[in-house]
Amino acid sequence: MAHVDQLVGSYRAWASNGASGVPDWLKDLREGGIARFHDLGFPNMKQEAWRFTSVAPIAEGSFELAKTPARIPTLEEIRPFLLLEAGYRLVFLDGFFQQSLSTPFFDDVQSLAHVVSHRQDLVRAHLGKYAATQERPFSALNTAFVSDGAFVHVPAKTTILEPIQLLFLASGSKPVVAHPRNLVVVEREARASIVETYAALDEHSYWTNAVTEIVVADGARLDHHRVQRESHRAYHVATTQSHQGRDSTVNLHFVAFGGALARHDIGAVMAGPGGTLILNGLYLLAGAQHADHHTTIDHAADHCESHEYFNGVLDDKSRGVFTGRIVVRPGAQKTDSKQTNNNLLLSSNAHADSQPQLEIYADDVKCTHGSTVGPLDPRAMFYLESRGIGKDEARRLLTYGFAAEILGRMEVAPLRAQLDAIVRGRLAE
Amino acid sequence: MAKGKVLLEVKGLRAAVAGNEILKGVDLTIRDGEVHAIMGPNGSGKSTLAQVLAGHPAYTVLAGGATYEGKDLLDMKPEDRARAGVFLAFQYPVEIRGITNSYFLRSALNSLRRERGEPELDPIDFLQFLEQKLKSIGWDDSMMNRPVNEGFSGGEKKRNEILQLAVLEPRLAILDETDSGLDIDALKTVAEAVNQLRDPKRSFLIVTHYQRLLNYITPDVVHVLADGRIVKSGGPELAHELEAKGYDWLRDAAMVS
């Protein structure tokens, strides 16, 4: 437990120092976060939600709280991590907003640190209201250290045409921890698209502990794409929590390529009738990588439709964990929910765990789920070979198909093409 | 009519799957441009013959052989057979997640073109080529941007096999129960496309349980396979005789012989 005390100590030092000039409500939020983290401590594998993932490398590691980076990279240096040319852009280095690399838009696409004082009422109304900290120690810890991150606000009946890019880069060689905190608020009948990327300027060891809260109001639509391509020596822990209103559409896309150890808690609450939700995810792992996606879809209102698709491609000694929890609340009649998780094992040492968890408290609903874990289908191999496609190419094609199936659901064509190129590069390694 | 050159010659072919001998000595000669039909009751070995000729790894050849264009067919890998012009339309086409039909077809066609020393087609050239092919068999491109066979109806899957046949332009097309599971309209559609693809340089081996497909595709030769052997061969009229009399009289004949 030494490390928990160490983190609490580092919080005390930080809170009493440079981070003190903030409104009281934010101080209270942080205090609540650190108290919760202190109570919960790090999760262990005896807990149901952490059965397959040990966070010992984080709990026993030593990570200093990230400081303002000494050197800011040039736009040329970060260009390889920008997946799109056009659109508003917010760039963060070790969790700190970088004005010189960003193209914000007034107080609607801005750093959270800025809007905490400039749009206090709006931020206060939403920040910390969705990402639960009750049973989520990492989310609680992030809340304790809330200071900067991305803020996106789309006013009612407004459409932002170009996707907004949020880029979180890890900079240096020191093992630091950053706690980026992002808030996305899409007002009534508005529409936007976001690309949230985590990457590193070089292959070193560090810890990212991110939380993204997403609110999509009645009749609005958000297409959110999250690309996790951290350093292969990094630890990545994150929570993404969405909350959507009546007749809204939320499409959440996830791609995880990076990290030595990655755990992503994804929660989606369908709070108003007639909502549509897509969770569409891909994890592509090799070496000794471990990625755990823990998803919860909460059907809290009637006549909502959710589709969840997660595919894993696991090579070498890598391990993929997927949990798909679907809760249908009493009264959420006419719920239509479909979930699939398909895992392709490219090596006999790769491993996948797939667990659907359905909790249904309404009687007039349609819920289906299915999962597969296995090597390439020999029938599919023969089918391709019988068309003149050689064994190696057939194998590549079928593997690529697992990834392409997920990428194909993303509507932003240039982003899809960039991710497609990354996938092809990974598979050619 | 002068007979064409021999394309496929099967002699004394015996083959097994999971230790069970299914083919017990099959002899078959197919010449250029000929259409042969193989009929027979369930379990007679029709599909096994089709799979063995295409090189399915689950089947073991016990004895006998098959030459294709004078070469030892059974010694070739499945992809090399395809590149040499052998095509199998599957009874149960396989779903390929994430790969669109047009991407799949282009990959397959380019594998064949590389083998023939022809330049590969880029996506734009391929689409033009594909449109011509679709037009020649009277179909539209509605299946092209969907993942291969995924969510296809039974009829769509079978049509997709014939479309691949049209694109890959094989010299020997083996149709494994392409008619099974099709309603009469789908059957006609498939048969008309096959008729469009008949060519003096292309031979067909049509494996079928029912005679009805042969109402629309008139074969040159009909064979009856029973208990792993060809027990009778004849002209198109043999198919009608089988329809009227069933298979039992032939099975009895096979037992006696």
**Dihedral, B246, B250, B255, B257 alpha carbons, nearest 10:** 180
pLDDT digits 0-9 by tens, A12-25: 999 987 666 789 99
**pTM value > 0.90:** yes
Could you tell me the maximum CA-CA distance found in chain A, to the nearest angstrom? Answer: 70
pLDDT digits 0-9 by tens, A288-340: 999 999 999 999 999 999 999 999 999 999 999 999 999 999 999 999 999 99
How large is the angle between the packed helices B184-197 and B123-137, nearest 10 degrees?
A: 110
Instruction: Give the number of domains in chain B.
Output: 1
Instruction: Report pLDDT for A255.
Output: 98
- Identify whether B139 is part of a domain: no
The label of the residue with tokens 């449109």 reads B131
The pLDDT-based confidence of A420 (bands split at 50, 70, 90) is very high
Closest chain B residue to A344, measured at CA: B97
The pair phi, psi for residue B201, each rounded to 5°, is -100, 10
Q: What residue numbers bound the domain in which B168 lies?
A: 6-99+147-256
Looking at per-residue pLDDT, the higher value among A15 and A198 belongs to: A198
The pLDDT-based confidence of A2 (bands split at 50, 70, 90) is low
Please tell me the distance from the alpha carbon of residue A97 to that of residue A78, in angstroms, as a whole number. Answer: 14
- ipTM comes to 0.95
CATH code at B20? 3.40.50.300
**Dihedral, B230, B231, B233, B239 alpha carbons, nearest 10:** -100
Chain A residue numbers with beta carbons less than 8 Å from the beta carbon of B55 are: 385-386
Instruction: Report pLDDT for A1.
Output: 47
- Identify whether B224 is part of a domain: yes
Instruction: Report pLDDT for B2.
Output: 59
Do the beta carbons of residue A269 and residue A244 sit within 8 Å?
yes
Q: Distance between alpha carbon A267 and the CA centroid of its chain, in Å?
A: 10
CB atoms within 10 A of CB A309: 18
The pair phi, psi for residue A320, each rounded to 5°, is -115, 135
Could you tell me which residues are beta bridge partners of residue A57? Answer: none
Do the beta carbons of residue B37 and residue B214 sit within 8 Å?
yes
Mean residue pLDDT of chain B comes to 92
pLDDT digits 0-9 by tens, A213-248: 999 999 999 999 999 999 999 999 999 999 999 999
Average pLDDT in the B188-199 region?
94
Please tell me the distance from the alpha carbon of residue A233 to that of residue A290, in angstroms, as a whole number. Answer: 11
Instruction: Say yes or no for a CB contact (<8 Å) between B99 and A401.
Output: yes
pLDDT digits 0-9 by tens, B99-148: 999 999 999 999 999 999 999 999 999 999 999 999 988 888 888 889 99
Closest chain B residue to A409, measured at CA: B98
Contacts of A406 (CB under 8 A, 6+ apart): A253, A255, A280, A281, A282, A309, A310, A311, B98
In angstroms, what separates the C-alpha of B187 from chain A's closest C-alpha?
Answer: 23
Q: How far is CA A364 from CA A269, A329, A368, in A?
A: 19, 11, 13
In angstroms, what separates the C-alpha of A401 from chain B's closest C-alpha?
Answer: 4
Average pLDDT in the A348-366 region?
97
Instruction: Report pLDDT for A39.
Output: 96
- Identify whether B92 is part of a domain: yes
- Identify whether B113 is part of a domain: no
Question: Which of helix, strand or coil describes residue A332?
Answer: coil
What is the residue extent of each domain of chain A? Answer: 2-272, 377-429
Please tell me the distance from the alpha carbon of residue A3 to that of residue A322, in angstroms, as a whole number. Answer: 28
- Identify whether B115 is part of a domain: no
Chain B residue numbers with beta carbons less than 8 Å from the beta carbon of A406 are: 98
Instruction: Report pLDDT for B256.
Output: 46
- Identify whether B86 is part of a domain: yes
Instruction: Say yes or no for a CB contact (<8 Å) between B93 and A388.
Output: no
Average pLDDT in the B8-22 region?
97
Instruction: Report pLDDT for B1.
Output: 52
**Dihedral, A411, A417, A421, A423 alpha carbons, nearest 10:** 10
Average pLDDT in the A409-429 region?
94
Chain B residue numbers with beta carbons less than 8 Å from the beta carbon of A385 are: 55, 77-79, 82
Instruction: Report pLDDT for A285.
Output: 98
The closest of B193, B197, B190, B167 to B104, measured between CA atoms, is: B167
Instruction: Report pLDDT for B254.
Output: 56
Instruction: Report pLDDT for A183.
Output: 98
- Identify whether B29 is part of a domain: yes
- b/e sequence A218-244, b meaning 16+ C-beta within 10 Å: bbbbbbbbbbbbbbbbbbbbbbbbbbb
Q: Give kind and range of the element (H or E) at residue A149.
A: none
Chain A residue numbers with beta carbons less than 8 Å from the beta carbon of B162 are: none
- Identify whether B207 is part of a domain: yes
Contacts of A333 (CB under 8 A, 6+ apart): A302, A303, A362, A363, A364, A365
